[in-house]
């Protein structure tokens, strides 16, 4: 009889333990958390370290359920809502933990490591989600997500977990990859244009031919060279690059200056090869007028397109900012 009573008591205690822990797996407020932990302490079935671990595991399970409820179809929407959910709810859990458990006691360092390890694990989970969704593509809204994530990281500096330094490389890589893809697309379109291009079809109306003189762009402006309209392949190529520049401008860290310049330099080298191949294939059949137009084509590429692209780069990456960044790096050395 005594053994039966003991067994029933144990089963009741186990059921109560499960029910109390289950409450922590729901959207429970701080007062309720305090009551649950108070009951668990009075039951005296868990050590202090086990109690902390069970609390974090239960609250972590609730956080995962909140994140799992976010629709994943649209990467931007999923990431945006995940950032907001993590920022609000993870901060709430941290606040609850610190209100319930004290890490300032002499015996607490090892127990405090449980909490800090859990927080770092949650941040790592968020960074994995961020990396995955950014890889799926978020369109031209990278700047919006960067702002949200930076605010998330900044808010966690209040609890000693400022992870903004982990964000920059992720967004930098995505911006560089998107720029590279846009440049490759512009290059492919240029090659297509050159495959069907005939010099005799150049209109010679908006460019250097006879007619009204072109308006001169004011110094410091970024008006595209109008002469390029006389040469559709160059105009098409520049248009593609401007799309790439405009997308990059929304999220353009100074650290990308070298990668962007190298990408553009490589594309221009391919353009040069394509122009050279066109000349080799068509030169024998050139008339005098076509030879003159080809010279104008090359001149427009060299004297109009290239300087304009250089000005675009200087707007995206002001030399003064680059000099300042290099000076700071030199100072650290």
155 and 179 inside one domain = no
Domain assignment present for residue 69? The answer is: yes
Convert the pLDDT of each residue in 106-154 to its tens digit.
455 666 788 888 999 999 999 999 999 998 888 778 889 999 999 999 9
- Radius of gyration of the CA atoms of the chain, in A: 31
What residues contact residue 279 under an 8 Å CB cut-off, 6+ apart?
294
68 and 148 inside one domain = yes
Please indicate, yes or no, whether the overall pTM of this predicted structure exceeds 0.85: no
By residue range, what is the domain housing residue 188? 175-199+222-326
Burial class (CB in 10 A: 0-12, 13-18, 19+), 203: exposed
155 and 188 inside one domain = no
181 and 235 inside one domain = yes
Alpha-carbon gap, residue 178 to 134, rounded angstroms: 11
Q: Which sign does the torsion angle of CA 55, 57, 60, 64 carry?
A: negative
Per-residue pLDDT, 322:
85
Domain assignment present for residue 332? The answer is: no
Number of domains observed in the structure of the chain: 2
Domain assignment present for residue 216? The answer is: no
13 and 84 inside one domain = yes
Convert the pLDDT of each residue in 23-65 to its tens digit.
889 898 999 999 988 888 888 888 888 889 999 999 999 999 9
Domain assignment present for residue 215? The answer is: no
Per-residue pLDDT, 278:
94
121 and 231 inside one domain = no
What residues contact residue 175 under an 8 Å CB cut-off, 6+ apart?
142, 248, 251, 252, 253, 256
Domain assignment present for residue 208? The answer is: no
36 and 155 inside one domain = yes
13 and 156 inside one domain = yes
189 and 289 inside one domain = yes
128 and 185 inside one domain = no
147 and 189 inside one domain = no
**Are the beta carbons of 93 and 59 closer than 8 angstroms?**
yes
Domain assignment present for residue 86? The answer is: yes
277 and 130 inside one domain = no
């Amino acid at each position: 009889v005594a053994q039966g009573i003991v067994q029933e008591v144990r089963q009741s205690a186990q059921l109560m333990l499960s029910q109390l822990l289950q409450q922590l797996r729901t959207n429970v407020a701080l007062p309720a958390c305090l009551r649950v932990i108070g009951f668990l302490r009075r039951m005296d079935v868990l050590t202090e370290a086990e109690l902390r671990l069970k609390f974090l595991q239960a609250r972590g399970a609730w956080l995962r359920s909140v994140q799992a409820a976010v629709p994943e179809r649209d990467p931007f929407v999923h990431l945006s809502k995940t950032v907001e959910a993590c920022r609000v709810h993870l901060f709430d859990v941290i606040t609850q933990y610190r209100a319930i458990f004290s890490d300032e006691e002499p015996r607490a360092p090892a127990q405090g490591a449980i909490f800090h390890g859990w927080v770092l694990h949650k941040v790592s989970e968020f960074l994995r989600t961020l990396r995955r969704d950014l890889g799926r593509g978020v369109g031209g809204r990278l700047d919006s997500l960067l702002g949200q994530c930076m605010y998330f990281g900044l808010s966690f500096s209040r609890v000693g977990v400022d992870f903004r330094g982990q964000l920059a490389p992720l967004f930098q890589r995505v911006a560089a990859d998107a720029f590279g893809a846009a440049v490759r697309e512009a290059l492919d379109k240029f090659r297509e244009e050159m495959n069907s291009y005939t010099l005799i079809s150049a209109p010679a109306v908006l460019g250097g031919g006879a007619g009204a003189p072109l308006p001169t762009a004011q110094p410091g402006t970024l008006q595209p060279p109008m002469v390029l309209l006389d040469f559709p392949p160059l105009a098409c190529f520049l248009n593609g690059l401007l799309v790439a520049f405009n997308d990059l401008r929304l999220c353009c860290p100074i650290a990308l200056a070298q990668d962007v310049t190298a990408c553009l330099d490589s594309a221009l080298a391919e353009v040069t090869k394509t122009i050279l191949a066109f000349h080799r294939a068509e030169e024998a059949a050139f008339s005098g007028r076509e030879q003159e137009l080809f010279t104008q084509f090359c001149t427009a590429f060299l004297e109009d397109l290239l300087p304009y692209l250089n000005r675009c780069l200087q707007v995206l990456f002001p030399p003064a900012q680059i000099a300042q960044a290099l000076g700071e790096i030199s100072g650290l050395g």
